[in-house]
Structure 1
């Protein structure tokens, strides 16, 4: 089962990545955009927590997105060390293309499934994810 999950995740990520590259986005950037589209003006820390990526990945993605004109980062009024992220008009214009991308990817992913199979898959995937996330992460043994 673990290998099947790995293969599924890999295939899905590769296809999504190809679609994102056509939009001049790197994988993960769409997650940041969607978070900002849901709630404008989040701090980098809030974004980091909501997307579940590591700090260096989020920082690098935000820098690239700023260079691409999708967002701005500015110090928070209450603490100049805290950076607040805002979308630009170009970033806000990504709402529909990203929604269309995910809708299309879902249609491709579930294209050979019946509605019942698709629903059972989603339910099963959540049960598996909950089983994994409810366990403490293994720690590395010194050695």
Structure 2
């Protein structure tokens, strides 16, 4: 491949479009750009430490703190001191936060439906497999030292996506 922008550019464009779409769709709920990612991790691991949330989402501790404080202010999460480490906080979903799960998933599905609308079923499956393969390669290569965005794990034997 001669120009890496042929792949990196479209990947970056899809990512930015995804964030912009989700920010617009979730604005009425007081959920800002990228904050839904925190909720998505909590739907899988409620009660995770604030530090682990930042690590999973590959954001700074300061960014994580701001996002969690915003979600807390809107009533989607609450923080509680970790019993084993009083310096750390664990983040938990509130009932309001749990109720947002279906809404967020609906918005994500809508984005993917638009993104993949011109794909045949076979192309969708190939795309899914190729994206997973590329993501796992980052794990194998050492370029991805920690678990990925809370959805894909570096262990290929884990089937959860």
Q: Which residue does the alignment assign to 1:140?
A: none
Residue 106 (structure 2) aligned to one of 94, 100, 104: 100
Q: Deviations over 1:85-109 (max 9, x none)?
A: 1111111111111111111111111
Q: Which residue does the alignment assign to 1:109?
A: 115
TM-score, normalisation: structure 2: 0.74
> May I ask how many residue pairs the two structures share in their alignment?
137
Displacement over 6 Å in runs of 4+: none
Residue 123 (structure 1) aligned to one of 120, 124, 129: 129
Q: Deviations over 1:24-74 (max 9, x none)?
A: 211221121122222221111221222222222111100111111111112
| Counterparts of 1:99 and 1:86, CA distance in 2 | 19
Task: Name structure 1 gaps, 5 residues minimum.
Answer: 138-143
| Counterparts of 1:27 and 1:130, CA distance in 2 | 26
Kindly name which structure, 1 or 2, has the bigger radius of gyration based on alpha carbons: 1
